[in-house]
Amino acid sequence: MNLTIRPIVDTDLPSVAELESQLFSHPHSIDQLQKMVAAHESCWVAEIDRRLAGYIFASFGGGQADLLIVAVDSKYQKQGVATRLMEQLIDQLHSLLVDSLFLEVRASNQAAIGFYRQQGFSEIGVRRNYYPLSSAIREDALLFKKDC
């Protein structure tokens, strides 16, 4: 598997938006993704054989960072792609003197929770009824933190 990690460029956004719509019940729109990239967040993509396989977006400031999205195409999951994306992000955060990385995740997202625990994140709290689940029901967000 020929895996490359590189900074995102604007021409990646249609493919990223397409993967968002495949992987998330409430995907970010291409406009929202564009705003994150334009805000100079830390945004990386993974390519396998020159095709988009995954991406990771984070924001940072004041010595702290927030993981906004990490996602891997279902046909490439469980092959270490998200691990490589996280390594790249953490390398960059080190160079920016960031010492803590925070995130929120849907309480039902067992794949992501398993991944974050395996990456050394610890659960630090819960936001009740944070995410919409359907028009009438919401679900909790779990808050995680990792020391960089």
Chain contacts with ligand COA (rule: CB under 6 A): 23, 69-72, 77-83, 105, 109-112, 114-115, 118
Q: Could you give the CA distance from residue 89 to residue 98 in angstroms, rounded to a whole number?
A: 11
Active site residue 104: yes
Cβ proximity of 28 and 16 under 8 Å:
no
Least CB distance from residue 48 to ligand COA, whole Å? 11
| Closest separation in Å from C-beta 54 to ligand COA | 6
Q: 18 catalytic, yes or no? A: no
Task: Provide the CA 137 distance to its chain's centre, in angstroms.
Answer: 24
**Tokens of residue 135, six digits:** 């028009």
Catalytic residue among 116, 130, 131, 139: 116
Q: Nearest CA to 148 among 98, 113, 102, 105?
A: 98
Task: Exactly one of 104, 123, 130, 131 is catalytic; name it.
Answer: 104
Which residues, in sequence order, are bridge partners of residue 32? none
Q: How far is the CB of 112 from ligand COA (least distance, A)?
A: 4
Q: Would you please indicate which residues are annotated as catalytic (active-site) residues?
A: 104, 116
